[in-house]
């Protein structure tokens, strides 16, 4: 009887993982509904009082994100509860898309469900729910995950070009410029996964249009909106990228306070490496190989960070934490499922 109940709980997690992840993410973000507008929230909201704008007050081209603030003011004025509710809905949608996407990429309901739950629980996501000005990260993440899903659906039965993926790709770019990594994400993933190695037809009809669309966005639309290419920020990129990559790697496993990570990133990085090495050793001691999926997820974590390595901010890890959650779940799925089954049996 106990075993059958545990199996039933496991099946529930596998079959309803997307709904559970969305509900969990919404529940974790629920306290943000009590918060007022904070810090940069007022600056962004003030910039759209006279109408929608392409540019943020800080010089970024994010028309859809800024448009969302304008629409909210048109619908209900300045309401921190409803604005935070929008953030909550976006976070829940992202968690749902995480499960759907990982399920398609891994072929495993268990891995997808557990990855979505771990993603929903990442404590750094509190900034994405509590700070309305951080909406660009959740908004572009939802469009990014949707584009990746649409592309994967297209590649299984390619007809023409991946129109839905192209539209969602440009949508993500119009929310935040960090979505520039989408073509690289899809390309590297296709090269790493033996089951999805691209054919010549996919290169021409799938990858190439997305690469071209992204290039046009940065070479034409963005310069027209800014009056320049706006890439001077990359001047110090390489000087701080290693330091920030170390900090983000730590945050994926040890979500310590950002002040501590910024003060001693290499010390915390060594601790994170030690913990990761211990996890790998435990897997090996169980006479198991580290799944290829885990290694691919680590690579995807670095790719998704991309331009975010210019600085270390909690909200920037929102989308990359999808890959870090998968990297942690893939080698320990059985153990996590056993723990989850025991916990569910107490409910």
pLDDT, greater one: 75 or 266 = 75
Tens digit of each residue's pLDDT (9 = 90 or more) over 217-227: 888 877 777 76
Question: What is the residue-averaged pLDDT of the chain?
Answer: 83
Question: pLDDT of 154-169, one tens digit each?
Answer: 998 888 899 999 999 9
pLDDT in tens, 276-314: 777 777 777 765 677 788 888 988 999 999 888 888 888
20, pLDDT greater than 70: yes
Return the pLDDT at 214.
93
Q: What is the mean pLDDT of residues 16-40?
A: 91
Show contacts of 57-64: CB within 8 Å, 24+ apart.
Answer: 59/226, 59/230, 60/136, 60/176, 60/177, 61/174, 61/177, 61/221, 61/222, 61/225, 61/226, 61/230, 62/136, 62/174, 62/175, 62/176, 62/177, 63/174, 63/225, 64/139, 64/171, 64/174, 64/175
pLDDT at 10 over 70: no
């Amino acid at each position: 009887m106990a075993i059958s109940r545990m199996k039933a709980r496991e099946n529930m997690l596998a079959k309803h993982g997307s709904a559970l992840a969305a509900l969990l993410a919404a529940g974790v973000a629920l306290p943000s509904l009590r918060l007022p507008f904070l810090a940069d929230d007022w600056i962004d909201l003030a910039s759209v009082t006279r109408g929608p704008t392409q540019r943020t007050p800080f010089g970024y081209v994010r028309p859809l994100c800024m448009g969302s603030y304008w629409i909210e003011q048109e619908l209900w004025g300045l309401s921190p509860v409803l604005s935070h509710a929008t953030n909550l809905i976006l976070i829940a949608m992202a968690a749902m898309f995480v499960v759907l996407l990982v399920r398609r990429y891994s072929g495993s309901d268990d891995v997808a469900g557990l990855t979505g739950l771990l993603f929903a629980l990442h404590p750094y996501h509190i900034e994405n729910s509590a700070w309305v000005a951080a909406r660009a990260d959740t908004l572009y993440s939802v469009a990014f995950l949707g584009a990746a899903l649409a592309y994967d659906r297209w590649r299984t039965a390619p007809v023409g070009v991946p129109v839905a993926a192209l539209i969602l790709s440009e949508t993500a770019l119009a929310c935040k410029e960090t979505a520039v990594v989408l073509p690289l994400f899809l390309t590297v993933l296709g090269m790493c996964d033996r089951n999805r190695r691209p054919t010549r037809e996919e290169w021409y009809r799938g990858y190439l249009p997305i690469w071209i669309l992204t290039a046009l966005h940065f070479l034409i639309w963005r310069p027209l909106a800014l009056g320049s290419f706006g890439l001077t920020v990359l001047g110090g990129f390489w000087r701080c990228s290693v330091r920030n990559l170390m900090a983000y790697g730590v945050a994926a496993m040890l979500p310590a306070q950002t002040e501590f990570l910024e003060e001693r990133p290499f010390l915390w990085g060594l601790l994170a490496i030690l913990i990761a090495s211990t996890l790998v050793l435990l897997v090996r001691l169980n006479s198991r190989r580290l799944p290829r999926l885990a290694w691919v997820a680590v690579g995807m974590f670095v790719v998704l960070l991309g331009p975010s390595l210019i600085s270390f901010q909690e909200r920037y890890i929102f989308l990359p934490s999808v890959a870090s959650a998968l990297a942690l779940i893939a080698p320990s799925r059985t153990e996590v499922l056993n723990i989850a089954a025991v916990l569910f049996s107490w409910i």
